[in-house]
């Protein structure tokens, strides 16, 4: 539409807040009937640059199951949000959160994933969390699957590689939609769905040691099952609670060309297509041609049931969400130097990186927002963005984290530019407002929070919460609806 006036800043009602995941904060892994989840059998990394999540094998699962402690498995203890949720939500409210993104652990509700009836004690916990959020007028944004599933489904069907899991998942989603009808306006289906191409942590499918082509076959098949389950969940929600909205969730990682050589530009485009493939399916409801060609050339065959394509086509998501941490660089000749953990691809000489090698690129956020808006024309939501850093708790209880403020300020500024560019942006939930267990290394000392939690990598500490300098800064940002970023 032709227009001559432009927004000056964030729209009224912009959803400011923070995001967490059950397996990184809750703890209480073996209480109130909870079953063991896939996240709870992943050992912490010996070295913080090492990514061990996908080193899971049948043997390592057996070892983990026999181990009843949490020393090697920090996602079992989290930061004990299960018992601290009132205090933590009160702190979020003090910052002025409008929205809190969290996930529901499937294994709390269906301990083995395939019971006929849900576990009431598990549901009761989330009832209490919602009560608390309502008390402060904070909207919940719930992720249905954030890097975990009942381990029993891995044992029975090799996780999402088995088509049977679709029905189990959609029994879980139906229970939640019915129970929380009218109480939860925003839902997300699969967290960073594209990271299923890396394996177990997202798909729950054990495929270590297999040749790469077989791994790819398993992973893309598992992802197909998730696409279908996500579309069925979308249909369920629209029928059960027509006022609620449901979105997809992508780990957005823009790839730049290393040089203007058209071959490099094409290599970058290809990488970007492989990233956007997931939102293409979830927003448009069809498998794009470029991926069909990729599958054919890699001899990947997606096994589709008769009406899968129809289910996908009829149930696109309402909005698109994504996490944004970094960008990367590629060339047709090489894949560049490898950086730190999760930092795939090459170095960009124009960018600095975090201590974990994640290249910090605020302008890239504006670029991504504009590209995704142009491509889909659906509302967007930045549901993760933040800086993992080592923080120092001073003797007086303060944490001076100016580096975190600088990081967030720069990204929010670029987000504001995107809004002025005309992007329809629903909100921003930074990751993670309170220190939590790292997804990729399971360490505690990679901290993201506005709130410091006294716990070390071994699980020692009082779990006491402290407000960092960034806490007071974010409070001001929210109070001014993003105008005051100083």
Judged by the rule CB under 6 A, the positions of this chain that interact with ligand BG6 are 21, 24, 147, 191-192, 251, 323, 384, 388, 431, 438-440, 446
State the nearest-atom distance from the C-beta of 86 to ligand BG6, in Å: 23
In the complex, least distance from residue 178 CB atom to ligand BG6, rounded to whole angstroms: 27
Minimum distance of ligand BG6 from residue 99's CB (angstroms): 16
What is the distance between the alpha carbons of residues 329 and 213, in angstroms, rounded to a whole number?
Answer: 24
> Quick one: 382 or 419, whose CB is closer to ligand BG6?
382
CB-based contact 148:22 (threshold 8 Å): yes
Q: State which residue, 146 or 258, has the beta carbon closest to ligand BG6.
A: 146
Q: Shortest Cβ distance from residue 383 to ligand BG6 (Å)?
A: 9
Question: CA-to-CA distance for 296 and 193, rounded, in angstroms?
Answer: 22
Provide the residue count of the chain: 486
Pick the closer one to ligand BG6 by CB: 335 or 445.
445
Q: Could you confirm whether 384 is annotated as catalytic?
A: yes
Residue nearest to ligand BG6 (CB): 440
Taking the complex as a whole, how short is the minimal distance between the CB of residue 364 and ligand BG6, in angstroms? 16
State the catalytic residue, choosing from 192, 384, 443, 458. Answer: 384
Decide whether 88 or 241 has the Cβ nearer to ligand BG6.
88
Q: How far is the CB of 246 from ligand BG6 (least distance, A)?
A: 18
The Cα 335–Cα 253 span in angstroms is: 15
Question: Distance between CA 475 and CA 93 in Å, rounded?
Answer: 9
Question: With respect to ligand BG6, which residue has the nearer C-beta, 267 or 437?
Answer: 437
Closer residue to ligand BG6 (CB): 331 or 429: 429
Least distance in Å: CB of 386 to ligand BG6? 7
- Closer to ligand BG6 at the Cβ: 32 or 355? 355
Catalytic residue positions? 384
């Amino acid at each position: 539409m032709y227009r001559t006036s432009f927004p000056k800043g964030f729209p009224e009602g912009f959803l400011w807040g923070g995001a967490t995941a059950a397996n990184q904060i809750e703890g209480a892994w073996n209480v109130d009937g909870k079953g063991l989840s896939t996240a709870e059998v992943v050992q912490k990394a010996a070295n913080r640059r090492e990514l061990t999540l996908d080193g899971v094998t049948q043997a390592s699962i057996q070892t983990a199951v026999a181990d009843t402690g949490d020393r090697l498995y920090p996602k079992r203890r989290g930061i004990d949000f299960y018992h601290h949720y009132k205090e933590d939500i009160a702190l979020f409210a003090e910052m002025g959160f409008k929205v809190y993104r969290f996930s529901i652990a499937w294994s709390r509700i269906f301990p083995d994933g395939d019971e006929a009836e849900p576990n009431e004690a598990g549901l009761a916990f989330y009832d209490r969390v919602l009560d608390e959020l309502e008390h402060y007028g904070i909207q919940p944004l719930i992720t249905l699957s954030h890097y975990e599933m009942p381990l029993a489904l891995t044992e029975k069907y090799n996780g999402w590689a088995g088509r049977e899991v679709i029905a189990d998942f959609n029994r879980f989603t139906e229970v939640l939609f019915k129970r929380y009808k009218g109480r939860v306006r925003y839902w997300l289906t699969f967290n960073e769905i594209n990271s299923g191409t890396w394996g177990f942590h997202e798909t729950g499918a054990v495929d270590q040691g297999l040749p790469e082509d077989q791994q790819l076959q398993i992973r893309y098949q598992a992802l197909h099952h998730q696409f279908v389950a996500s579309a069925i969940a979308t249909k369920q929600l629209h029928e059960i609670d027509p006022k609620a909205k449901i979105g997809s969730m992508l780990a957005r990682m823009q790839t730049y060309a290393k040089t203007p050589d058209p071959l490099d530009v094409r290599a970058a485009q290809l990488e970007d297509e492989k990233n956007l493939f997931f939102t293409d399916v979830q927003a448009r409801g069809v498998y794009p041609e470029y991926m069909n060609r990729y599958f054919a050339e890699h001899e990947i065959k997606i096994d589709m049931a008769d009406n899968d394509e129809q289910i996908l086509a009829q149930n696109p998501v309402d909005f698109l969400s994504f996490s944004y941490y970094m960008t990367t660089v590629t060339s047709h000749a090489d894949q560049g130097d490898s950086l730190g953990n999760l930092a795939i691809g090459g170095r960009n000489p124009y960018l600095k990186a975090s201590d974990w090698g994640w290249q910090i690129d605020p302008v890239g956020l504006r670029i991504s927002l504009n590209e995704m808006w142009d491509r889909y024309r659906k509302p967007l939501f930045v549901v993760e963005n933040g800086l993992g850093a080592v923080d120092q708790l001073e003797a007086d209880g303060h944490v001076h984290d100016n580096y975190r403020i600088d990081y967030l300020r720069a990204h929010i500024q670029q987000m504001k530019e995107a809004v002025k560019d005309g992007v329809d942006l629903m909100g921003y939930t930074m990751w993670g407002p309170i220190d939590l267990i790292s997804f990729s290394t399971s360490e505690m000392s990679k901290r993201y929070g506005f709130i410091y939690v006294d716990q070390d990598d071994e699980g020692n500490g009082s779990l006491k919460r402290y407000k960092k300098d960034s806490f007071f800064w974010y409070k001001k940002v929210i109070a001014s609806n993003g105008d005051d970023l100083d």
